[in-house]
Structure 1
Amino acid sequence: MNAQALVDERGELWLALAPLWLDREPSEREFARMVAVIERHELTLHELEWIFRLELAPVMSRNQMSIAGRWRDFDDYQLMQQLVAHNLKLKGWRRKSWALFSGLTTMMTRHRWNELIARVMMERGEAPHS
């Protein structure tokens, strides 16, 4: 897959989910936008989990760890460049190692992710897992 195909396929979703990594809780409006974008992409919860863990978290968690990271908002263009570069290399051993360490890279935002998934499930009329 080339860079443009990645942007076309995932760009809107990646940018919609980026607020999960800001230094504040996402607003109701941001959560509503995330749910709407997820529903447009018709992804399963399993697919969403792996997008969160492998496609987004490795890039976004680096921003969280950086002293000079962006905390209030993101430069969408710069963020998209970083996400595309990461995902173009996400094959073989890289994919496996990010899967292995995904617990660490998602730790800071897991509570927000769980809230989002609960909202997606509610939108779909599914019962949350106990």
Structure 2
Amino acid sequence: MDAQTLVDERGELWLALAPLWLEREPRETDYARMIEVIQRHDLTLHELEWVFRLELAPVLARRQMSVAGEWRRFDEYQLMRQLVAHNLRLTGWRRRAWALFSGLTTMMARHRWGELMERLMIARGEDVPS
């Protein structure tokens, strides 16, 4: 897959989900936008989990841990370049390694992800586990 195809297929979704890693808690409008974009991409919860764990978390967790990281908002152009570069390399052993360490890279945003998935299930009319 080439860079332009990645941007076309995932760019909107990646940028919509990026606020999960910001310093502040996502606002209602952030969650509403995330759900709107997710609905357009028509991905299952399982597929979304892997987007979160493999496509986004390795890049965004590093930015979050960086001393000079951006905490209030992202430079979308720079973020998209980093996400595309990461995802172009996400094959073979790299994919397996990130899958193995995804618990570490997602832990800072996991509670927000859980909130988003619950809201998404409600929006889709699915039963939310207790």
Equivalences for 1:1-130 in 2 at 5 Å?
1-130=1-130
Q: Distance in 2 between matches of 1:78 and 1:129?
A: 37
CA distance in 2, matches of 1:129, 1:106: 21
Identity, % of aligned positions = 74
RMSD of aligned alpha carbons: 0.5
Gaps of 5+ in 2: none
State how far apart, in whole Å, the 1-side matches of 2:63 and 2:86 are: 13
4+ runs deviating over 6 angstroms:
none
Secondary structure at the aligned position of 1:73 is classed as coil
Shift of 1:129: 2.3
TM-score by length of 2: 0.99
Residues 70-90 of structure 1 deviation map (CA, whole Å, 9 limit, x = unaligned): 000000000000000000000
Q: Distance in 1 between matches of 2:119 and 2:129?
A: 12
Distance 1:129 1:59 in 2: 30
Q: Deviations over 1:46-86 (max 9, x none)?
A: 00000000000000000111000000000000000000000
Structure 1: unaligned runs, 5 residues or longer: none
Name the amino acid aligned to 1:8.
Answer: D
Residue identity opposite 2:21 in structure 1: W
Corresponding residue SS for 2:107: helix
SS in 1 for 2:29: helix
Number of matched pairs:
130
SS at match of 1:24: coil
Question: So what's the TM-score if we normalise by structure 1?
Answer: 0.99
